[in-house]
A and B are shown apart, each in its own frame.
Chain A
Amino acid sequence: MNNNIKGYVSFILHAHLPFVHHPESDDYLEEEWLFEAISETYIPLLINFKKLEEEKVDFRITMSLTPPLLSMLDSKLLQRKYINYLKKHIELCKKEVKRTIYDSRLNELSKYYLNRYSNDLHLFKDVYECNLINAFKHFQDIGVLEIITCGATHGYFPILYLNEKTVRAQIAVGVQTYEKYFGKKPRGIWLPECGYIPEADKYLKEFGIEYVITESHGILYANPTPIYGTYAPIVSPEGVIAFGRDIESSRQVWSSINGYPGDFNYREFYRDIGYDADYDYIKPYIAHDGVRVNTGIKYYRITGKTEYKDYYNIQWAHDSAEKQAGHFFDSRQKQIENLSNYMDTPPIILCPYDAELYGHWWYEGPYWLYILFKKIYYDNCNYKLITPSEYIDKFPNMQISTPCRSSWGANGYSRVWLNETNDYVHRHLHVAGDRMVELAHLFPNEKKKIKKQALNQCARELLLAQSSDWLFIITNGTMVDYAKKRIKEHIGRFTKLYNQIKNDEIDETFLKEISQKDKIFPDIDYMIYY
């Protein structure tokens, strides 16, 4: 600890998954995205935050918990399914402990997984009482975590904004969902995919949002050019504050060439017993249709650029994480020391990442954060951790400038969500958006219960169709069928309801069924499209 503070570092973890909720079947593998993220990212983060709290380490971190993620964490059905997922994993781990008896190193690892999943079950049921939202909220309440919101369903603003009301609704529902779970208004928002457009500023202001996070060039290419680059926030003419991602620190973690997660001692993501084990043996634990998938039980370390993989060694992995935490710690010191020569105000180094990078992709990531935060607190250091809100409160004087239209996708603009593989979708999103606004104007403040329910369900279907995730998955080329099916379903359900509402012949059975399937935003009011 040191009083000679010359700058600040701000970690932002963006926790998001698309809404996947299938009460009609147990066969949807896609629901496991959530379960994997809980076991590999959310619970490990919570465990490490708790350790820091118990060790009285004063740290700061910011997380966006998106509305679809909150809705899924709050779903009783998905909570039950997660418990089943854990029980299944525990059963498999027990078999693994027996199976691997011939090799002591492997056997140790299988016991480690058994212990880990058993602990997850205990924590989830007994400690968190199935409520991970409250578990995160606790850290916000004690002042170390700032939770921010996101667009309602992660709709990508630069595509939706042709009808600005659809952007307004994404923001409105994002803010409402946040208030429902955290009992206050969010100060910041993670723009879906960091998709910044100046047209959204007035709606962000309308719903009380103070700041957004942008990709580096959102600030660097801003107009007029910000004098401090990404090292200080700017404020748009409409009054929205924008923080830009620091290039140096984010590349240290993300780089595909020499990023931290590629350390040879770290766990190899692509060697999973779901693929490696005997088919008949693993069959009960993979996809229902017999397709091999990841189980999360992985015994190897990256080892090197080789097919031959050595067993994972937890101690070695921890050693690497500690070494890298030290490297990151030192790099920020140098960076801030250097910047302080140039700046007349303390710089902020903004480090935004996908939360799921930590733990899911980079298994040791949560531990790395824990070590880093401890170092920053205890070691002699020229900077402190801070949240964007605290920085605003401390240094409210900032340059007026309009951020550049930008996103954090490859190439920095809209290509990931608009290219030859997925451009057929956009007309449907736009038409549905226009029709939703039309419905709100045709039937404002509807009194009839069924019709009102139908109108609200229309709003839900539209929002779900707008998730940027479907477009991303199509571009990326994995699980494409599922993403395309979801777009068709939500547009299809929306259109069917739209016609039924206009013809005044609402099929109540249909409405009831899709309301059960697409059970999100129970308190939505379609009048946000008015």
Chain B
Amino acid sequence: MPKDTSENEKKQTKKPVKSKNKSNSVKDLNKENVTKKTTKTAKTTKKSTTKTSSKSKKEDISNKLNTKKTTSNKLKKKNTKDTKTSKSKKFQIIEYYDLPYSYNQTTVKILYQTPTTLFVYWDISEEDRKNYIEKYGDEFFYNSKPVLIIHNLTYQTNFEVEINDFANSWYLKMAEPNCKYEIELGRRITNLDQKFNSNKEYNKKAETVYYNQYILVANSNDIYMPNDHILLENIKPGTKIQFKNVKTHEITTKEYGTFMFMPDIYKLFRFYKEVYKDEIMEDTNKTLLSNPSSSSFFM
């Protein structure tokens, strides 16, 4: 089956730990296996740190099966089709696509999953890898560990999480919903052993590094985490609220205190929360009618 070869980026499989990594020989292997293998490792690691991926292993296996099935089904389909109808003559190009493992771009992107869970994915381009090696020595990726620094821009706080070179994405638990966040991908020097020093001798250009030194790789976009509760704490005596007439654009201001009924309405919502607790809080996507997601057609 002719593969779409225009996607050069595919070949840039990530090999961060240079000397130790088995993946030097990986190039010769089937690309898809490499991808799967890497992802699997990544997911297992994630599990141990964030407790989010309970099914991941099973999922990976079934993914593998599914992929195979699709491919063979597709083959079958195309074959029968070509001999079957004249209509199919309109469609002669056999298409086969795989998603590239990397786009060879240095990037860090973050998204929120829930008010307290942030998803981050990243990639480092070959060029940047080379630059780091040029700057810090051949063993740079071996002697440093990838880290994420999470900046809470609302409260001006930050914390650091050590990740690993097999992963290309991560889930992070955040303590504070309703805040603005940004993440840095960086590396921390963890190893100044013999190898590293000897490397320095023949790589004169390399910059001196010190233990625990931090080197920034890239900054993410910033995002606001969603709010997760009724903001009653913001309502204080005298707090003003605005009304707008959407036809005339006239704006009027009133005080919360003038709406005596408001606590009653919100009592009602707390009541609902209690009554429908089991359904609203349900941590599954599969309950038939309790999840009115708009694709319920396929359930």
Q: Which A residues have a C-beta under 8 Å from some C-beta of B?
A: 14, 16-18, 23-25, 27, 33, 37, 154, 158-159, 162, 192-194, 210, 220-225, 227-229, 231, 235, 239, 241, 247-248, 250-251, 254-257, 259, 261-262, 289, 339, 341-344, 353-354, 356-357, 360-361, 392-393, 396-401, 404-406, 408-411, 413-416, 418-421, 423-424, 426-428, 430-431, 468-469, 472-473, 475-481, 484-485, 487-489, 491-493, 495-496, 499-500, 509-510, 513-514, 516-517
Contacts and interface: CB of A to CB of B under 8 A. Distances in A.
Interface in B75-95: 77, 81, 87-88, 90-93, 95
Contact of B111 (A162, A262, A479, A517): A162
Contacts of B103: 427, 431
A356 B297 contact: yes
A231 to B, nearest CB: 7
Q: Which of B73, B226, B279, B296 has the most CB of A within 10 A?
A: B226
Nearest to B225: A405
A256 B279 contact: yes
Contact of B294 (A154, A339, A478, A488): A154
25 contacts: A16-B294, A16-B295, A221-B231, A222-B231, A235-B244, A261-B289, A342-B265, A354-B294, A357-B289, A398-B246, A404-B227, A409-B293, A413-B113, A414-B111, A420-B43, A423-B121, A426-B121, A476-B285, A480-B66, A481-B66, A481-B69, A485-B70, A489-B95, A492-B97, A493-B95
A405 B115 CA distance: 9
B245 A227 contact: no
Given A221-B227, A400-B251, A427 B123 contact: yes
A509 B91 CA distance: 9
Contacts of B95: 489, 492-493, 514
Contacts of A489: 95, 97
B241 interface: yes
Contacts of B100: 428, 495
Interface residues of B, number: 96
Nearest to A425: B99
Nearest to B47: A420
Given A24-B90, A235-B246, A427-B121, 18 more contacts: A193-B293, A223-B231, A224-B234, A254-B290, A256-B288, A257-B290, A353-B292, A400-B243, A401-B241, A413-B226, A420-B59, A424-B169, A481-B73, A484-B67, A484-B70, A488-B99, A492-B4, A513-B90
A454 B219 CA distance: 34
A118 to B, nearest CB: 25
Interface in B31-57: 39, 43, 46, 52-53, 55-56
B241 A247 contact: no
Given A223-B227, A225-B232, A413 B112 contact: yes
Contacts of B296: 354, 356-357, 361
Contacts of A193: 293-294
A410 B121 CA distance: 23
A423 B119 contact: yes
Contact of A254 (B59, B115, B229, B292): B292
B241 A224 contact: yes
Nearest to B66: A481
Contacts of B112: 158, 405, 413-414
B230 interface: yes
Interface string B193-236: 00000000000000000000000000001001011111110110
Contact of A228 (B247, B265, B284): B265
B295 A469 contact: yes
B278 interface: yes
B30 interface: no
B119 A418 contact: yes
Interface in B238-292: 239, 241-248, 251-252, 256, 259, 261-262, 264-266, 268-269, 272, 276, 278-279, 282-292
A409 B92 contact: no
A116 B103 CA distance: 53
A408 B121 contact: no
Nearest to B220: A162
Contacts of A405: 112, 224, 226-227
Q: Which of A259, A415, A493 has the most CB of B within 10 A?
A: A415
B283 A408 contact: no
A289 B74 CA distance: 12
Contacts of B12: none
A3 B109 CA distance: 56
Nearest to A497: B6
A354 B299 CA distance: 13
B66 A415 contact: no
Given A398-B246, A492-B95, A225 B234 contact: yes
A400 B242 contact: yes
A325 B295 CA distance: 25
A360 B244 CA distance: 41
A159 B111 contact: yes
B24 interface: no
Contact of B114 (A24, A235, A411): A411
Chain A to chain B: the 9 pairs with minimum beta-carbon distance, closest first: A492-B97, A342-B261, A405-B226, A256-B290, A472-B295, A396-B247, A420-B53, A24-B91, A400-B242
Contact of A495 (B7, B109, B293, B298): B7
A239 B291 CA distance: 30
A526 B58 CA distance: 41
Given A25-B81, A484-B66, A431 B276 contact: no
B6 A516 contact: no
A254 B69 CA distance: 35
A509 B53 contact: no
A413 B272 CA distance: 19
Nearest to B80: A27
Nearest to B81: A25
A159 to B, nearest CB: 6
B292 to A, nearest CB: 5
Q: Which of A16, A193, A261, A405 has the most CB of B within 10 A?
A: A405
B209 to A, nearest CB: 30
Nearest to A191: B294
Q: Which of B6, B56, B294 has the most CB of A within 10 A?
A: B294
A479 B70 CA distance: 11
Contact of B266 (A229, A396, A401): A229
B70 A472 contact: no
Contacts of B226: 221, 404-406, 413
Nearest to A24: B91
Nearest to B297: A356
A517 B6 CA distance: 21
Contacts of B266: 225, 229
B88 A428 contact: no
Given A410-B291, A431-B105, A476-B286, A513 B243 contact: no
Contact of A33 (B121, B228, B298): B298
Contact of B272 (A194, A247, A427): A247
Contact of A247 (B52, B97, B276): B276
Nearest to B276: A251
Nearest to A505: B6
Contacts of A410: 282-285, 291, 293
B73 to A, nearest CB: 8
A255 B279 contact: yes
B98 interface: yes
